[in-house]
């Protein structure tokens, strides 16, 4: 039977709140860049908003992260409802594919940097304040690294797709029908754990060096 103290519940809530905010901004970034490239789909459907009710996915934003936290996973990640994008409405679909795909991970990088800068400026004013921004920065770094893996349907596969010649694009697109199966095997076998652990340790070293 799992027993959680009040402190553990608060810590759990902070991590989950940070993850929801991170994946929400990640998706809005995709939609905003698509809009800048000429596709108004996300704007028309009301998805260029920071209202969490528009973005939260029951499984990806709550259940999966909660399970990962409870089993002490080396990485916390999840997802929001994908923002609808129609690249055919963009002025230059190929360039838009790269820009829209990279926008989500880059938004996570910027969020992580901003969180650390806030901590650097304000300092350890409060235990929970410090924990939230540390968790928030770490979560964003992990999300960026995870999403840049070139496996469909992750953003990294779309970035790669935009750079490949037509023959390579065909191979990657054919892989997509098996993408969730491949991704599930990789996650449940722990094949990504060394990579994610290395990212985690690298983040901790850089964060300590920056904050001290």
Catalytic residue numbers, as ranges: 27
Sign of torsion, CA 92 164 147 105? negative
CA distance 58 to 89: 30
CA distance 90 to 35: 8
For the chain, give me the number of helices (H) and strands (E)? 9, 0
Length of the chain: 212
CA distance 35 to 157: 21
Burial 105-132 (b: 16+ CB within 10 A, else e): bbbbeebbeebbeebeeeeeeeeeeebb
Burial of 59 (0-12, 13-18, 19+ CB in 10 A): exposed
Residue 133 and residue 113 in contact, taking contact as beta carbons nearer than 8 Å: no
Residue 161 and residue 173 in contact, taking contact as beta carbons nearer than 8 Å: yes
């Amino acid at each position: 039977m799992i027993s959680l103290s009040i402190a553990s519940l608060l810590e759990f809530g902070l991590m989950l709140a940070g993850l929801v905010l991170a994946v929400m901004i990640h998706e809005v970034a995709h939609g905003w860049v698509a809009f800048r490239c000429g596709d108004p789909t996300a704007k028309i459907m009301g998805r260029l908003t920071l209202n969490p009710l528009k973005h939260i996915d029951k499984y990806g934003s709550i259940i999966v992260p909660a399970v990962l936290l409870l089993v002490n996973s080396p990485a916390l990640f999840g997802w929001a409802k994908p923002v609808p994008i129609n690249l055919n409405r963009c002025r230059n679909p190929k360039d838009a594919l790269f820009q829209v795909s990279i926008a989500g991970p880059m938004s996570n990088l910027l969020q992580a940097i901003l969180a650390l800068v806030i901590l650097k400026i304000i300092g350890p004013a409060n235990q929970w304040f410090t924990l939230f921004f540390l968790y928030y920065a770490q979560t964003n770094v992990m999300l960026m690294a995870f999403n840049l893996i070139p496996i469909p349907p992750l953003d990294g596969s779309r970035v790669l797709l935009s750079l490949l010649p037509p023959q390579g694009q065909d191979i990657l697109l054919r892989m997509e029908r098996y993408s969730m199966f491949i991704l599930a095997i990789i996650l449940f076998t722990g094949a990504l754990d060394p990579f994610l652990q290395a990212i985690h340790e690298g983040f901790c070293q850089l964060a300590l060096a920056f904050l001290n």
